[in-house]
Amino acid sequence: MRVDGIIFADERLIAPLRTDPALEQVANVATLPGIVGASLAMPDVHWGYGFPIGGVAAMHADGGVVSPGGIGFDINCGVRLLRSDLVASEIRPRLEPLADALFAAIPSGVGARPGQRLALHDLDEVMCKGARWAVERGFGWSSDLDRTEERGEMVGAIPGDVSHRAHERGADQLGTLGSGNHFIEVQVVDRVLEPSAATALGLEVGAVTVMIHCGSRGLGHQVCTDHLTSMDTAAARAGIVLPDRQLACAPLGSPEANAYLAAMAAAANFAWANRQLIGQAVRAAFERVFSTPAVRLGLELVYDLSHNVAKIEQHHVAGQRIALCVHRKGATRAFPPGHPDVPAEYRAIGQPVLIPGDMGRCSYVAVGAPGAMELTFGSSCHGAGRSLSRHAAVRLLRGVDVAKQLGAQGIVVRAERRDLLAEEASPAYKDVEIVVEVSANAGLIRPVARLRPLIVVKG
For residue 155, give the nearest of 132, 136, 171 by alpha carbon. Answer: 132
Please tell me which residue in 307, 316, 382, 391 is annotated as part of the active site.
382
Cα 84 to Cα 116: distance, rounded to the nearest angstrom: 26
Q: Is 382 a catalytic residue?
A: yes
Nearest 10 degrees: CA dihedral of 287, 290, 291, 296?
Answer: -70
Give the Cα separation of 144 and 271 in Å (integer).
15
Per-residue exposure over 112-123, b if at least 16 CB sit within 10 Å of its own CB, e if not = beebbebeeeeb
The CA R_g of the chain, rounded to the nearest whole Å, is 21
Buried b (16+ CB within 10 A) or exposed e, 352-369: bbbbbbbbbbbbbbbbbb
Please name the helix (run of DSSP H) or strand (run of DSSP E) that holds residue 98, with its range, or none. Answer: helix 95-105
Q: SS3 for 172?
A: coil
- Helix, strand, coil proportions of the chain in percent (round to 5)? 40, 25, 35
The widest CA-to-CA distance across the chain, in whole angstroms, is 64
d(CA 59, CA 111): 37
C-alpha dihedral sign at 396, 185, 362, 21: positive
Residue 398: how many other CB atoms lie within 10 Å:
8
Spacing of C-alpha 427 from chain mean position: 21
In whole angstroms, what is the distance from residue 207 CA to residue 285 CA? 18
Between vectors from CA 342 to CA 37 and to CA 362, what angle results, nearest 5°?
85
Give catalytic residue positions: 382
